[in-house]
Amino acid sequence: MKIWFEHNRRLREEWYEWCKDVPLEELVKKRTGGIGGILHTLFHIVDVEWSWLQGMQGKPDFQENFEEYMTLEKVMELDAKFRLDVEPFVQAWDDSYETRLFDVESPNGGEFIETWGVLMRHVIAHQIHHLGQISVWARGIDKKPVSPNLIRKGLMIPYETTK
C-alpha cells in the first residue's frame, strides 16, 4: 500500500512540474470526459484522497470549492497541507487495517459497509484513472504527458537473497 501511495505522490509532483509550462487558461479550460479541466482534476484527486482517509479515521471531511483553488500554486499548497495528514496514516498502515470496516454514505442517499483495504485501493485507482484523463488532454495540447511508469523509480530497496 505504501509504495502505491508514494508512487501516486511522486506522479502528482511530476504533473505539477509539467503544469508549470502550461498557461493557466489551458489548465482551467473545461475538457470533455472528466470532472473539469486539468487543474480541477488535480484538485479533485487531492480532495478525494484526503477525504477518504480522513473519513476512515473518523476525522472531518474537506468541504472546499475548486473555485477557491484555481491556480497551480493553490492546488500544490493544498496537497502539501493534506499530505501532513495522509502520510502518517499511510506509513502506519499494517495488515490489521485491511479488514477494518467503514460505513460509507453513498452520494445518492444509501449506505454500505466497505473494508479499509478496498477503500485504499479505490483511492489509488481513482488517481490512476484521472491522471490517464489528464494524459489524453496533454496530448490534445501537443504536450508529452508524464509517464506513469513504475520501473526505475526507486520505490523499493532491492535486497539480495541467499540461495
Report CA-CA distances (Å) from 115 to 21, 52, 108, 118. Answer: 40, 12, 20, 5
Return d(Cα 17, Cα 30) in angstroms, integer.
21
Structural domains of the chain, with CATH: 2-97+120-140 (1.20.120.450)
pLDDT at 162: 59
60 vs 155, more confident: 60
- Residue 133 in contact with residue 30, Cβ under 8 Å? no
| Tens-place pLDDT, residues 93-137 | 999 999 999 998 877 888 889 999 999 999 999 999 999 999 999
Sort 138 into a burial class: Cβ within 10 Å, 0-12 / 13-18 / 19+.
buried
pLDDT-derived band at 156 (thresholds 50, 70, 90) equals low
What mean pLDDT is predicted for residues 77-81?
Answer: 97
Contacts 24+ apart (CB under 8 A), 117-120: 119/52, 119/56, 120/1, 120/52, 120/93
Mean pLDDT across the chain, nearest whole number?
Answer: 91
